[in-house]
Amino acid sequence: MAASLVNNAQHRLRRLAREFRFRLNGWTVAAVLLGLFLFLPMAEVLWHITSPAENWEHLRDTVLGRYLKGSAILVVGTAGLSLLLGVSTAWLVACCEFPGRRFFEWALILPLAIPTYIAAFAYFDLLDRLTPLLIWVRTNISPEAMTWLSDMMVYPVTTVVLAAVLYPYVYLVARAAFSRQGSRFAEAAQTLGHGPQSVFWYVALPLARPAIISGLALVIMETLNDYGAVKHFGVPTFTTGIFRTWVSMGDLPGALRLAACLMVLILFLLLLEKWLRFGAKFHKTSPSDRPFQRYPLGQAKAGLALLCCLVPLVIGFALPLSRLAYWASLTAGKVLDATFLKLTLNSIGVATATGLATVMIALFLAFTARYFGSQAAGATNRLAILGYAVPGAVIAMGVLLVAGQVTQATGWILTGSLAVLVLCYVIRFLAVAWQPIDAGMERNCAQLNQASKTLGATPARSLFHVNVPLLRNALVAGGLFVFVDTMKELPLTLILRPAEFETLSTKTYDLVFQSQIPESSVPALCIILVSLLPVIWLNRQMRAPEQ
């Protein structure tokens, strides 16, 4: 009896050892190390929450509250407005029929091509145009009222500008969710006595909640990451506070402390998002085989729907684009020259390199974790993709810290190299490529990987001959998204760019910095134009039936 128990135990141990050996191999070790390496700059910043910062008490007592308040108001406002714009347009486009619906279905995504700082620059004089109103208030009401109004005005203005270009994040996921639901639940609700409005509030919206929350999370992270818009309109946020503490006070430790606080806040928001998305498994609806029968809208309602879709499109795309185009037509001759071509190529080159690198790394990390069932690799993967939630400036600070330590230890200069810049982009945007690839793997490859394992194929063979062909769409989508995001990126590039290396985004910022706003429209337009093509392609891909 005892002998058989011992035998069992031995058998178990041997099996565990075999599994462990299977999991512990070149692939998994490399993946874990790579994941940790990518997380290192963020860890450096986080670590600073414990490091001594002499200014901290002063910061805490004077400005911390202001940054917190400013960030909070801005985030709540932008998220709220994006929610309103994104969900309403998604519902109209997915579930109602009105003239022009097909056009809006793809057009509503266009604002994604406009980065937040360019939107702010396109509306740079928005606050100034309200000056007559302020003067009127000052003469007819009181100077105190004018002061109050001029101080409060920044929030709505910045919120509208940001939400106008960020709402597509919510629009995309909400539209997909509403389409996926199909007609089943709407019809069931109707037979239970609920009209279309009731169906929307009590059925469609709750079912789409997890998807909408994930879209909102993206909006919030982009809002916290923005530096150009909040600086221009004068909204005190964490990001401007970090820069101010670092730049103005020359207090790097203090700035790092603030950055660490911001990271903690973001981690908290991520947890909150997970909690709000709870029950997502309850929302797994198999796609309906009956396509949704859209509600036809009568004339008045159709007109309202058109207006509803037109407003975000105009504010978020048509108006900024036309202003930029007008300025560009005036200044193009002055700005377009040989160096301009060079910096355009720089932008495209670096974005392409980042796209390729990110896709390859994401593929490797996702594959290794799944194929070998390695929990360690899975954990380090989750760490590695946190970069998307962290503002670019903070990542740059972390990388500078690490680079400084390396320089001290080895004498190599890492700052100012293109490779480090691309590495930084990779850290920042890894999640963007990882998400579709990992989701695609989960959907399509799990069983096939099992099969190929039992057939004795090497991991490399499985990767290249099984997974890659199946994941083609996800790979291209991931790469394109990263490409667009890198083209738009600003704060990180400003900090880490090598000598004589300009990109379209840094050129835009430089020109605005010199108050040459009309001239800045030329590189800004280039960014938008290049970003448009992938955005449209992606939109078409998302509408095509999945294979």
Partner 1 sequence: MKKFLKSFLALGLLAGATASAAELTVYSHRHYDSDAVLFKQFTEETGIKVNVVKGSADQLIQRLASEGKNSPADVLLTVDAGRLHRAKAAGVLQPVKSKALAKNVPASMRDPEGHWYGMTVRSRVIVYAKDRVKPGTLSTYEALAKPEWKGRVVARSSSNIYNQSLLASIIAANGSDKALAWAKAIRKNMARSPRGSDRDQARAVAAGLADVAIMNTYYLGILANSSVAADREVAAKVGVFFPNQDGRGAHINVSGGGVAVGSKNKKEAIRFLEFLTSAKSQETFGNVNHEYPVIIGNNKSELLKSWGSFKADDVNLSVLGAKNAEAVKLFDLAGWE
Partner 2 sequence: MNLLTLRSVTKRYTATDPPAVDGVSFECAQGEIVALIGGSGSGKTTLLRVIAGLEIPDTGEVVLNGTTLNSPTRFVPPEKRDCGLVFQDYALFPNKTVSQNISFGKGSTDDPARIGELMEMADISGLEQRYPHEISGGQQQRVALVRALATRPSLLLLDEPLSHLDPELRDSVRTELLKLFRETDTTALFVSHDIEDAMVMADRMVVLRKGTAEQVGTQLEIYDRPANPHVARLFGKTNFIPLGLLPDAPHSFADETGDGQVVPVRPHQWQLVENSNDGSTAFTGKVVSTTNRGAHQEVLLQTENLTLTIHLPGNTTVKPGETLTVSCDLTV
Which residues in this chain contact partner 2 in the complex, by CB under 8 A? 184-185, 187-195, 198, 202-203, 206-207, 209, 279, 281-285
C-alpha 304/C-alpha 123 separation (Å) is 26
Minimum CB separation from partner 2 for residue 298, in Å? Answer: 13
Nearer to partner 1, 248 or 547 (CB): 248
Decide which of partner 1, partner 2, none touches 483; Cβ closer than 5 to 8 Å per partner kind. none
Minimum CB separation from partner 2 for residue 462, in Å? Answer: 32
Q: How far is CA 283 from the centre of its chain?
A: 24
Nearest to 438 by CA among 486, 465, 388, 478: 478
Decide which of partner 2, partner 1, none touches 154; Cβ closer than 5 to 8 Å per partner kind. partner 1
Residue located via tokens 């109707």 = 190
C-alpha 75/C-alpha 397 separation (Å) is 23
Binding site for partner 1 (CB under 8 A): 55, 58-59, 62-63, 66, 127-128, 131, 134-135, 138, 143-144, 146-147, 150-151, 154, 233-234, 236, 240, 243-244, 246-252, 400, 403-404, 407-408, 411-413, 415-416, 494-495, 497-500, 502, 510, 513-515
Nearer to partner 1, 26 or 411 (CB): 411
Report residue 372 as tokens.
């070998």
Decide which of partner 1, partner 2, none touches 284; Cβ closer than 5 to 8 Å per partner kind. partner 2
CB 116 within 8 A of CB 227: no
Nearer to partner 1, 144 or 546 (CB): 144
* Residues ≥6 apart with Cβ < 8 Å to 410: none
Nearer to partner 2, 207 or 308 (CB): 207
Nearer to partner 1, 133 or 439 (CB): 133
* DSSP notation for 95-159: HEE-TTHHHHHHHTTGGGGS-HHHHHHHTTTHHHHTHHHHHHHHHHT-HHHHHHHHHHHHHHHHH
C-alpha 434/C-alpha 475 separation (Å) is 9
Q: Which helix (H) or strand (E) holds 534?
A: helix 517-543
Beta strands in 135-271 (DSSP E): none
Nearer to partner 1, 288 or 415 (CB): 415
Decide which of partner 1, partner 2, none touches 413; Cβ closer than 5 to 8 Å per partner kind. partner 1
* DSSP notation for 388-405: GGS-HHHHHHHHHHHHHH
Minimum CB separation from partner 1 for residue 64, in Å? Answer: 10
Minimum CB separation from partner 1 for residue 135, in Å? Answer: 5
Decide which of partner 2, partner 1, none touches 301; Cβ closer than 5 to 8 Å per partner kind. none
C-alpha 355/C-alpha 474 separation (Å) is 13
Nearer to partner 1, 110 or 494 (CB): 494
C-alpha 74/C-alpha 315 separation (Å) is 18
- Residue 46 backbone phi and psi in degrees, to 5: -60, -40
Decide which of partner 1, partner 2, none touches 37; Cβ closer than 5 to 8 Å per partner kind. none
Decide which of partner 2, partner 1, none touches 147; Cβ closer than 5 to 8 Å per partner kind. partner 1
Minimum CB separation from partner 2 for residue 190, in Å? Answer: 4
* Residues ≥6 apart with Cβ < 8 Å to 183: 288, 290, 291, 292, 293
Minimum CB separation from partner 2 for residue 286, in Å? Answer: 9
Decide which of partner 1, partner 2, none touches 499; Cβ closer than 5 to 8 Å per partner kind. partner 1
Nearer to partner 2, 191 or 410 (CB): 191
Decide which of partner 2, partner 1, none touches 197; Cβ closer than 5 to 8 Å per partner kind. none
Which of left, alpha, beta for 500 (phi over 0: left; psi -120 to 50: alpha)?
left
Minimum CB separation from partner 1 for residue 129, in Å? Answer: 11
Centre a 10 Å sphere on the Cβ of residue 494 and count the other Cβ atoms it contains.
Answer: 19
* Residues ≥6 apart with Cβ < 8 Å to 352: 483
Minimum CB separation from partner 1 for residue 72, in Å? Answer: 16
Nearer to partner 2, 190 or 417 (CB): 190
Nearer to partner 1, 485 or 502 (CB): 502
C-alpha 13/C-alpha 24 separation (Å) is 16
Nearer to partner 2, 100 or 206 (CB): 206
Decide which of partner 1, partner 2, none touches 203; Cβ closer than 5 to 8 Å per partner kind. partner 2
Minimum CB separation from partner 2 for residue 199, in Å? Answer: 8
- Residue 416 backbone phi and psi in degrees, to 5: 85, 10
For 149-153, the CB contacts below 8 A with 24+ separation are: 153/127
